[in-house]
Amino acid sequence: MVHTGDGKGKTTAALGLALRAVGCGMKVMMIQFMKGTWKYGELEAAKRLAPDFTILQMGEGFTWETKDRRKDIALSKKTWEFCKETLQSGKYGLVILDEMNYVLGYGFLDTKEVVDFLKKKPEELHVVLTGRNAPKELVELADLVTEMKEVKHPFQKGIIAQRGIEF
Protein backbone atom coordinates (compact mmCIF):
# COMPACT_ATOMS: atom_id res chain seq x y z
CA MET A 1 0.00 0.00 0.00
CA VAL A 2 1.17 3.52 -0.76
CA HIS A 3 -0.15 6.74 0.78
CA THR A 4 1.09 9.71 -1.17
CA GLY A 5 0.01 13.18 -2.36
CA ASP A 6 0.27 16.66 -0.87
CA GLY A 7 -2.86 16.58 1.33
CA LYS A 8 -2.88 15.78 5.03
CA GLY A 9 -3.62 12.22 6.09
CA LYS A 10 -0.85 9.91 4.83
CA THR A 11 0.59 9.08 8.23
CA THR A 12 -2.74 9.27 10.05
CA ALA A 13 -4.28 6.80 7.58
CA ALA A 14 -1.39 4.41 8.28
CA LEU A 15 -2.03 4.80 12.02
CA GLY A 16 -5.69 3.97 11.39
CA LEU A 17 -4.67 0.77 9.63
CA ALA A 18 -2.42 -0.08 12.56
CA LEU A 19 -5.36 0.27 14.92
CA ARG A 20 -7.51 -1.98 12.75
CA ALA A 21 -4.78 -4.60 12.34
CA VAL A 22 -4.06 -4.74 16.08
CA GLY A 23 -7.77 -5.31 16.62
CA CYS A 24 -7.52 -8.29 14.26
CA GLY A 25 -4.76 -9.79 16.39
CA MET A 26 -1.84 -8.75 14.19
CA LYS A 27 1.48 -7.41 15.38
CA VAL A 28 2.29 -4.04 13.82
CA MET A 29 5.62 -2.25 13.43
CA MET A 30 5.96 1.34 12.26
CA ILE A 31 9.44 2.56 11.36
CA GLN A 32 10.18 6.23 10.96
CA PHE A 33 12.79 7.51 8.55
CA MET A 34 12.55 11.19 9.43
CA LYS A 35 12.95 12.22 13.01
CA GLY A 36 10.18 14.41 14.32
CA THR A 37 7.51 13.07 11.99
CA TRP A 38 5.68 11.29 14.76
CA LYS A 39 4.08 13.26 17.44
CA TYR A 40 3.37 12.90 21.09
CA GLY A 41 -0.18 11.62 20.48
CA GLU A 42 0.70 8.50 18.52
CA LEU A 43 3.78 7.73 20.60
CA GLU A 44 1.69 7.72 23.78
CA ALA A 45 -1.16 5.75 22.19
CA ALA A 46 1.28 3.13 20.87
CA LYS A 47 2.54 2.55 24.42
CA ARG A 48 -1.01 1.57 25.37
CA LEU A 49 -1.13 -0.94 22.52
CA ALA A 50 2.27 -2.46 23.37
CA PRO A 51 3.48 -5.10 22.64
CA ASP A 52 1.17 -5.43 19.64
CA PHE A 53 2.02 -2.03 18.17
CA THR A 54 5.58 -0.69 18.12
CA ILE A 55 6.74 2.57 16.64
CA LEU A 56 10.46 3.08 16.19
CA GLN A 57 12.17 6.38 15.52
CA MET A 58 15.28 5.70 13.49
CA GLY A 59 15.88 9.20 12.17
CA GLU A 60 18.06 10.46 15.01
CA GLY A 61 20.79 12.59 13.51
CA PHE A 62 19.08 13.17 10.21
CA THR A 63 19.98 16.61 8.94
CA TRP A 64 18.12 16.95 5.63
CA GLU A 65 20.80 19.38 4.58
CA THR A 66 22.69 18.68 1.42
CA LYS A 67 26.00 19.47 3.09
CA ASP A 68 25.54 16.38 5.24
CA ARG A 69 24.17 14.23 2.46
CA ARG A 70 26.71 11.47 3.11
CA LYS A 71 25.55 11.19 6.70
CA ASP A 72 21.89 11.11 5.62
CA ILE A 73 22.61 8.40 3.08
CA ALA A 74 24.47 6.33 5.70
CA LEU A 75 21.59 6.66 8.16
CA SER A 76 19.01 5.81 5.49
CA LYS A 77 20.97 2.68 4.59
CA LYS A 78 21.21 1.64 8.24
CA THR A 79 17.47 2.18 8.69
CA TRP A 80 16.73 0.22 5.51
CA GLU A 81 18.85 -2.71 6.79
CA PHE A 82 16.66 -2.74 9.90
CA CYS A 83 13.51 -2.54 7.73
CA LYS A 84 14.67 -5.57 5.72
CA GLU A 85 15.16 -7.62 8.89
CA THR A 86 11.73 -6.53 10.13
CA LEU A 87 10.02 -7.37 6.84
CA GLN A 88 11.60 -10.84 6.78
CA SER A 89 11.21 -11.60 10.47
CA GLY A 90 7.77 -13.19 10.19
CA LYS A 91 6.82 -11.44 13.44
CA TYR A 92 4.49 -8.83 11.98
CA GLY A 93 1.21 -8.78 10.08
CA LEU A 94 1.65 -5.11 9.09
CA VAL A 95 4.80 -3.04 8.68
CA ILE A 96 4.58 0.72 8.05
CA LEU A 97 7.57 2.54 6.56
CA ASP A 98 6.70 6.12 7.37
CA GLU A 99 8.06 8.87 5.07
CA MET A 100 9.93 6.24 3.04
CA ASN A 101 8.79 7.99 -0.15
CA TYR A 102 10.74 11.11 0.84
CA VAL A 103 13.90 9.08 1.36
CA LEU A 104 13.53 7.52 -2.09
CA GLY A 105 12.69 10.92 -3.60
CA TYR A 106 15.87 12.44 -2.17
CA GLY A 107 17.87 9.56 -3.64
CA PHE A 108 19.15 8.47 -0.22
CA LEU A 109 18.16 4.91 -1.09
CA ASP A 110 17.98 3.16 -4.43
CA THR A 111 14.32 2.78 -5.45
CA LYS A 112 15.06 -0.30 -7.55
CA GLU A 113 16.71 -2.07 -4.63
CA VAL A 114 13.73 -1.30 -2.37
CA VAL A 115 11.19 -2.36 -5.02
CA ASP A 116 13.10 -5.61 -5.73
CA PHE A 117 13.15 -6.43 -2.03
CA LEU A 118 9.43 -5.69 -1.60
CA LYS A 119 8.65 -7.99 -4.54
CA LYS A 120 10.08 -10.86 -2.48
CA LYS A 121 8.37 -10.03 0.81
CA PRO A 122 6.37 -12.78 2.55
CA GLU A 123 3.05 -12.96 0.72
CA GLU A 124 0.85 -12.61 3.81
CA LEU A 125 2.69 -9.53 5.11
CA HIS A 126 1.03 -6.13 4.55
CA VAL A 127 3.35 -3.16 3.99
CA VAL A 128 2.50 0.54 3.85
CA LEU A 129 4.85 3.24 2.56
CA THR A 130 3.94 6.86 3.20
CA GLY A 131 5.18 10.23 1.97
CA ARG A 132 4.78 12.70 -0.84
CA ASN A 133 6.04 12.00 -4.35
CA ALA A 134 5.97 8.20 -4.31
CA PRO A 135 8.28 6.97 -7.09
CA LYS A 136 6.44 5.52 -10.08
CA GLU A 137 8.13 2.10 -9.71
CA LEU A 138 6.56 1.84 -6.25
CA VAL A 139 3.16 2.94 -7.53
CA GLU A 140 3.38 0.23 -10.21
CA LEU A 141 4.27 -2.45 -7.66
CA ALA A 142 1.63 -1.56 -5.06
CA ASP A 143 -1.82 -3.15 -4.96
CA LEU A 144 -3.32 -0.06 -3.35
CA VAL A 145 -2.27 3.54 -3.91
CA THR A 146 -4.13 6.46 -2.36
CA GLU A 147 -3.26 10.05 -3.19
CA MET A 148 -4.25 12.57 -0.53
CA LYS A 149 -5.38 15.73 -2.29
CA GLU A 150 -5.46 19.02 -0.45
CA VAL A 151 -8.84 20.71 -0.77
CA LYS A 152 -8.51 22.92 2.33
CA HIS A 153 -6.04 22.95 5.20
CA PRO A 154 -6.53 25.02 8.39
CA PHE A 155 -2.99 26.32 7.95
CA GLN A 156 -4.28 28.48 5.06
CA LYS A 157 -6.55 30.28 7.54
CA GLY A 158 -3.67 30.77 9.92
CA ILE A 159 -4.86 28.06 12.30
CA ILE A 160 -1.77 26.64 13.90
CA ALA A 161 -1.17 22.98 14.73
CA GLN A 162 -3.89 21.68 17.04
CA ARG A 163 -3.34 19.14 19.80
CA GLY A 164 -4.78 15.74 18.98
CA ILE A 165 -5.01 16.64 15.28
CA GLU A 166 -1.45 17.52 14.32
CA PHE A 167 0.49 16.14 17.28
User: Does the protein bind Mg ion through residue 101 (CB under 5 A)?
Assistant: no
Site residues for ligand ATP, window 21-60 (CB under 6 A)?
A: 37
Q: Out of 2, 4, 11, 138, which residue is the one contacting ligand ATP (CB under 6 A)?
A: 11
Cβ proximity to Mg ion: between 11 and 54 the closer is 11
Q: How far is the CB of 13 from ligand ATP (least distance, A)?
A: 7
Strand pairing category for 126-130 and 94-98: parallel
Q: DSSP character for 161?
A: P
Q: What is the DSSP string of 74-92?
A: HHHHHHHHHHHHHHHSS--
Could you give phi then psi for residue 127, rounded to 5 degrees?
A: -130, 135
> Among residues 2, 10, 55, 109, which is the contact residue for ligand ATP, using CB under 6 A?
10
**Site for Mg ion (CB under 5 A): which residue of 2, 3, 4, 11?**
11
What is the maximal distance between C-alpha atoms in the chain? Answer: 46
